[in-house]
Structure 1
Amino acid sequence: MSGDRPSPLVIERILRDRVGIWQQVVAERDLNALTGRMLASSAIALACYGAVLGAFHSPLMALTSALKLPLLFLVTLAICLPTLYLFNLVFGARLSVRQSLALVMVAITVTSMLAVAFAPISLFFLITAPDYGFFKLLNVAILTLSALVGLRFLTGGMQVLNDHGLLAPEVAKAQVHTQAVPVTAPAAMPAAPTPAAVPAAAAPAVAPVAGQSAEPVAVPAGPPVAESTPNGATTTAPVPAHVPAQWSGQPAGAPFAPGHPVPPGYPVAQRPWGTPPVRRGEPTQRPASMTLLYIWILLFGFVGTQLAWTLRPFFGDPGQDFAFFRSIDGNFYAEILRTIANL
């Protein structure tokens, strides 16, 4: 399916019809509706997962975490999206704000849906192993893994947009089209020089016409020439009479020395005239906007983790009373290292 069919399970279309999603983003078709559905699905999924996180402390903490976890992702997006858009503009990409927002929302939707898919596992360990440090590290690992998969979708979508030329400057594209000049075959192929040992009467009677392949003309056979067959056997083939004696021992089809004229009528495999040599395409260079995308992903991660530390608690330490916010001291990474050390 390639169309955006109305369904509350937008994640199903993202996972089953990625090509259709990327084509819709490229064409900017119904992006408002698609982004709205992804926003609603992500908010619901993150709220459900946040409730599981807060359930470790109390029902009130579960309710606040269900509100704060969607807020965490949406505020991080609001902080970092202008940077992504301006990065693309500075380096010549032609993405619109709606296209940039839709791409990031695809990543957030995949992240939130994977997180809520892990919710039963988190709830299982909450019931069977109610250890605060282990439960916190488990859910941090779940969110990290889900975010990595979601960001993989983001890089894949940006690569598709790069293939469609939306990440390349318009001037560069115009230069590529200007330089793409069709190759035409030469009007006529100059006749090969005839060695002095060949009599004039033995030269081919008909010269190749422009646009036709230069096939040898039938001439009386001369001494045999050794020739290899595909199965490795050696056979003999007649040599045209006008081939000089010094070439009579040359295997049929063997290459000649560079710059040495090939005798007329010699059975050498040659490329058809007018056909340019086949060249392997050079690998396309990664645009600067793709490189900056990875820098932006790191920025998104740093902003998100710092904002999560600011909006804590999400789990709720059972040894402390309920609080909607904690005082801002320390940082997220020091807390994770301290938790690992205390296990």
Structure 2
Amino acid sequence: MWNYQKASMRYYRHALDVLGFAVNSWIEEAQGPSPTMCFAVDLGDLIDFKCKLHGRTQQALDRIRAHFQAFQNVVGPVHHCVGNHELYNLKRQEYIRELMLHTASPDSTSGLPPQDATNAYYSFTIPQAPSFDFVVLDTSTYGFSVTGALEGSTEHIKAVEFLAKRNPNKDKNSSVNMEGFDQRFVEYNGAIDPAQMHWLTQLLKRAEAEARNVVVFMHVPTHEVASGGHPAALLWNFDELLALFRQFSKCVRAVFSGHTHENDYACDHGIHFVGLHAALECPPSSSDDTSNDRAYASVDIFPRSLRIRGAGKSSKSRAGMVKDLKMIATK
């Protein structure tokens, strides 16, 4: 099926197979002679609005959670970045309950999202990399968006009014006749809200003061180059978030994102911005050729670098070709 702009094909049923390829590969690696796998991150957009149209949201959730649980039973937690496609099926609190709080570990409760969470953003640490803070940002239930807000609520009304002033099209998911970065003002994007921005700022201040390393996971990209040159795929307030990352470039090491469904990469102020290809746009293969029928990546952490090992379409990422993403020492 064609995507919204009719520019690329989507393979909904095969996306579940791609998730299975990834999980099986990671479990096999974790059970190998030198197991180092710690956790996985879902960057969003695994289920689509058509599930809801056909009354199959719960069925889709059950199927993807079965794969996530297989990983969690053997390896460790699966963390989730909510995508706009998930929000076509689930309200904000439903997403937190059904996916974010599905995150679990076979060994301990450390490195998990807060079990009493009411927001879809948080940070966690793991004992295997004690100098790292891993941050999951909420760029899709968005404290400020049309898609993530409850229809009729004050925040929903404000978001609708905000978008109406900036997008002249009747279809607010369209950026037709809009130029440059103004194209980001579409309904499937949104902004990081002030409360989340304040929380992130305080976290980065502490990380910089303690010479820690920060790796960020988010659905919607915040760097214009790492968005694959698609300004319509950026956060409404991408410039504000990007300025914050640049301000704390001594501790922010890498920012991983999805949303564009393509491989993207940029290095800015020593920060590596990496976008990874969507499972949704990997065509099934009838041969043994695995170069296009899957897209996922593993990241190895070293004292002064991160190494990306991409599979299938993710191996074609410029970040995957760079392989070693060098980190600038904090001191």
Greater C-alpha Rg: 1
TM-score, length-scaled by structure 1: 0.25
Which one has a larger percent strand, Structure 1 or Structure 2? 2
Which one has a larger percent helix, Structure 1 or Structure 2? 1
Higher RCO (C-alpha 8 Å, min separation 6): 1
TM-score, length-scaled by structure 2: 0.26
